[in-house]
Amino acid sequence: MAYMALYRKWRPDNFNNLVGQDHVSRTLVNAIKSGRISHAYLFTGPRGTGKTSTARILAKALNCEKGPTTEPCNECAACRRIDSGSSMDVFEIDAASNGGVDEIRDLRETVKFAPVNGRYKIYIIDEVHALSRDAFNALLKTLEEPPEHVVFIMATTEVHKVLPTIQSRCQRYDFKRITVDDIFGRLKTVVSDMDIQVDDEALRMIAVKADGGMRDALSILDQCIALSEHSLTIDRVQQLLGLVGKEWLDNLVSALQSRDAAAVLTMVDEIIRSGKDFQQVLGELGIHFRGLMIFKAAGIVDGVDYYSQTDESIKKQAAGFTQEQIVWIIRRIHEAANEVKWSPQPRIAVEAALLEICQRDILMNKSASADKAPSAQPVDDGRIAQLEAKLAHMMGMLKSGAASVATPKGSAAAASSAPKVTATVAKPVQVAANITEDGVELWQKTLDHLRATGKEQVMACTQNCTFMGMNDAQFVLGTPKGVIKGLLERIYRKNIEEAFGAVSGLNLSLVCQEVATVPEPTPRKGEIQEDVPPPTDDDFGISELQDDARERLDKAVDVFGDGFVHPEDIQ
């Protein structure tokens, strides 16, 4: 006997074995019992939920030789003809195939004739929303005045595309997505009939993957069984479905939880190398977080995830996120899944989303405050730091240009240029630190080290600082008031600490202390007397700049204009 696909073999043949649609079968059974048969039915719902099967059962129930009955016999000639599609009274029209124009025209011709050997002439129109406009109009005319012996059963996955004028003439039945438990139960019945050992976990995984559709569930089971020998295990199903696997998912969630961006990127690399699809990865991640969301809200997670989760592990993972964070993460995963569809670089979309999830605290606050008060932006550290870094970079360019004139590279005088500009009065230091000769020397060496290693921007900031001592744990820098202190503390701290460590062999942390600057007795900006000629390029040493320094200076001029001031005046 030829092989018959499981979904055909196990197609429900009466209302009792229609899975997960009790509300539909109960109503239809009552209607048949009481003889209240409508002229038009509209079955709506997701694919694979039993709409077409129910239409056939209803057709058989009405035309069975032993009927009308709530339990068609499936054996009489009428039932068998309906099953084989050769009935002269039951017509199946697939509107999706060609818009249904010809079929509907034929239908209008034949509908007026009495049934050949059944009680009713039954038209099953699948995917009715796909009918062309002409076909729709033709159908509507027939529906307005249907002959006594005619029953229309229309099925659709997209009911919003069915004209309201048609919907209003139908009895509507909404087919639900079938629950994981119902699908699982049905699959269990199906495999109990077969000579194969199947793990419950494997069946549950298939039930989740089918996403509410029984036909899909049976098709997946069919494939899995065809590719396995005597047993079907969860590993095999995971492999055949291309799932990323519980272990990987758990590790990723834990890396996201601890905001370990490096680990997250490594894991993405790993899974992509193993040939997994980006959509699959994001899809599973979304399902997993949905599980966490439901667990947090309702305390249960059964049948949500592909993988059976122990309460312990789900509890631990759920505890690592707030409900708001989980909702935000799910939204971000969905965005990424959309981006992946269109992006020429889908990998970047996945990585960016996961890195953003690592930084969820900052990003969520940002979007929340933007929602609340678009006019009153709160202080945004990230942006300020960026602007400060740009400013420091420009200052560095200007200063390194000027400094390279005053102190040619490699000159011993370079070291002395830093203290020259900082005549400062130190406030009392908060930490107990001693200024020693050794300390001052270490700081000079640190500056040399920074210069030698090309840290121009750091140099630009430290030039106006004074060394104010050190103790066992810290070294203290006196900084001018303003932006410099923030730059040193937030952006260049690591550079300076490393340089200090490299020259001293000590592992000390930097403390910045704002000090008031004593102005030097040079004319300030705006105090230049009229008989003093305005400064020329030579006054700033610009004419002597090397080509590359000149170029950098030009760029700075582009940004800031050419209102040159002496470095001393910059603060």
Nearer to Zn ion, 79 or 318 (CB): 79
In angstroms, what is the minimal distance from the CB of 72 to Zn ion? 5
Nearer to Zn ion, 37 or 483 (CB): 37
In contact, 338 and 329? CB cutoff 8 Å: no
Q: How far apart are CA 3 and CA 225, in angstroms?
A: 13
Q: Residue 44 carries which DSSP code?
A: E
Cβ neighbours around 515 below 10 Å, total: 21
Nearer to Zn ion, 59 or 499 (CB): 59
Cα Dmax for the chain: 121
Task: Mention every residue, 6+ apart, whose C-beta is less than 8 A from residue 277.
Answer: 242
In angstroms, what is the minimal distance from the CB of 41 to Zn ion? 20
Task: Determine the size of the site formed for Zn ion (CB under 5 A).
Answer: 5
Q: How far apart are CA 57 and CA 53, in angstroms?
A: 6
In contact, 63 and 78? CB cutoff 8 Å: yes
Nearer to Zn ion, 76 or 389 (CB): 76
Nearer to Zn ion, 151 or 318 (CB): 151
Q: What DSSP assignment string belongs to 115-140?
A: PSSSS-EEEEEETGGG--HHHHHHHH
Nearer to Zn ion, 73 or 355 (CB): 73
- Judged by CB under 5 A, the stretch of 74-82, 191-199, 319-327, 519-527 that binds Zn ion is 74-82
In angstroms, what is the minimal distance from the CB of 173 to Zn ion? 23
Q: How far apart are CA 515 and CA 443, in angstroms?
A: 18
Is there binding between residue 96 and Zn ion (CB under 5 A)? no
Q: How far apart are CA 287 and CA 39, in angstroms?
A: 42
Q: How far apart are CA 172 and CA 25, in angstroms?
A: 13
Nearer to Zn ion, 61 or 403 (CB): 61
In angstroms, what is the minimal distance from the CB of 83 to Zn ion? 10
Is there binding between residue 76 and Zn ion (CB under 5 A)? yes
Structural tokens at position 301: 């997670």
In angstroms, what is the minimal distance from the CB of 93 to Zn ion? 23
Task: Mention every residue, 6+ apart, whose C-beta is less than 8 A from residue 282.
Answer: 333, 336, 337, 340, 350, 353
Nearer to Zn ion, 99 or 115 (CB): 115
In angstroms, what is the minimal distance from the CB of 82 to Zn ion? 8
Is there binding between residue 32 and Zn ion (CB under 5 A)? no
Nearer to Zn ion, 73 or 111 (CB): 73
In angstroms, what is the minimal distance from the CB of 67 to Zn ion? 7
Long-range contacts of 430-438 (CB under 8 A, 24+ apart): 430/511, 430/513, 431/471, 431/474, 431/476, 431/511, 432/471, 433/468, 433/469, 433/470, 433/471, 433/474, 433/475, 433/476, 433/511, 434/469, 434/470, 434/471, 435/467, 435/468, 435/469, 436/469, 436/470
Is there binding between residue 294 and Zn ion (CB under 5 A)? no
- Judged by CB under 5 A, the stretch of 77-85, 155-163, 202-210, 512-520 that binds Zn ion is 77-85
In angstroms, what is the minimal distance from the CB of 64 to Zn ion? 3
Which one of residues 42, 79, 107, 237 is an interface residue with Zn ion (CB under 5 A)?
A: 79
In angstroms, what is the minimal distance from the CB of 26 to Zn ion? 21
In angstroms, what is the minimal distance from the CB of 73 to Zn ion? 4
Nearer to Zn ion, 64 or 433 (CB): 64
Which one of residues 29, 31, 73, 96 is an interface residue with Zn ion (CB under 5 A)?
A: 73
- Judged by CB under 5 A, the stretch of 18-26, 76-84, 140-148, 431-439 that binds Zn ion is 76-84
Q: How far apart are CA 228 and CA 525, in angstroms?
A: 85
In angstroms, what is the minimal distance from the CB of 78 to Zn ion? 5
User: Is cis: bond before 68, omega within 30 of 0?
Assistant: yes
Cβ neighbours around 133 below 10 Å, total: 10
Long-range contacts of 98-103 (CB under 8 A, 24+ apart): 99/130, 99/131, 99/132, 99/135, 100/125, 100/130, 100/131, 100/132, 100/135, 101/132, 101/134, 101/135, 103/135
Is there binding between residue 483 and Zn ion (CB under 5 A)? no
* Residue 172, H or E segment: strand 171-174
Nearer to Zn ion, 76 or 327 (CB): 76
Is there binding between residue 503 and Zn ion (CB under 5 A)? no
Site for Zn ion in 39-68 (CB under 5 A): 64
Nearer to Zn ion, 72 or 567 (CB): 72
Is there binding between residue 426 and Zn ion (CB under 5 A)? no
Residues of the shown chain interacting with Zn ion in the complex, contacts defined by CB under 5 A: 64, 72-73, 76, 79
